[in-house]
């Protein structure tokens, strides 16, 4: 019975690790609304987060394009560039 519990705990741990890896790879940096595309909507969400200090998209952590831990006009500019290029 103890071995069964260990296997169950190990299985749950592996499952949690796999789901974390999958979710991290599913959405590109800049895709703050998680629609799998980087569009003007994403750029406007980042802009609003900076200008109005009111994030309008759910996944703003994806808007930190330069990885400095802040959402700034630099990130907005980078998302806007990708949106203009039509990066999906
Ligand atoms: Ca998007
Ligand atoms: Ca940033």
Rounded to a whole number of angstroms, the CA Rg of the chain reads 18
Domain count, the chain: 1
Q: Tell me, what CATH number does 44's domain have?
A: 1.10.1330.10
Would residue 1 count as lying in a domain?
A: no
Would residue 51 count as lying in a domain?
A: yes
Q: How many CA atoms lie within 13 A of 61 on its CB side?
A: 3
For the residues 27-51, what does the mean pLDDT come to?
Answer: 94
Would residue 11 count as lying in a domain?
A: no
Domain range for 37 is 27-85
| pLDDT for residue 50 | 95
Would residue 4 count as lying in a domain?
A: no
* Centroid of ligand 1 to alpha carbon of 7 (angstroms): 39
> pLDDT exceeding 90 applies to what percent of the chain?
59
Measured between alpha carbons, how far is 53 from 56 in angstroms, rounded to an integer?
A: 9
Would residue 59 count as lying in a domain?
A: yes
pLDDT digits over 22-32, tens only?
454 578 999 99
Would residue 15 count as lying in a domain?
A: no
pLDDT digits over 77-88, tens only?
999 999 999 866
Q: Which residue has the higher pLDDT, 76 or 19?
A: 76
* Centroid of ligand 2 to alpha carbon of 7 (angstroms): 41
Measured between alpha carbons, how far is 17 from 20 in angstroms, rounded to an integer?
A: 5
Ligand nearest 29 Cα, by number?
Answer: 1
Q: What are the respective helix, strand and coil percentages of the chain, to the nearest 5?
A: 60, 0, 40
Would residue 68 count as lying in a domain?
A: yes
* Centroid of ligand 2 to alpha carbon of 1 (angstroms): 50
Q: How many CA atoms lie within 13 A of 44 on its CB side?
A: 4
């Amino acid at each position: 019975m103890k071995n069964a519990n260990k296997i169950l705990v190990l299985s749950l741990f592996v499952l949690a690790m796999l789901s974390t890896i999958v979710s991290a790879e599913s959405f590109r940096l800049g895709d703050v609304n998680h629609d799998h595309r980087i569009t003007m909507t994403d750029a406007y969400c980042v802009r609003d987060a900076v200008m109005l200090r009111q994030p309008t998209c759910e996944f703003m952590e994806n808007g930190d394009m330069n990885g400095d831990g802040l959402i700034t006009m630099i990130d907005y500019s980078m998302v806007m560039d990708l949106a203009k290029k039509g990066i999906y």
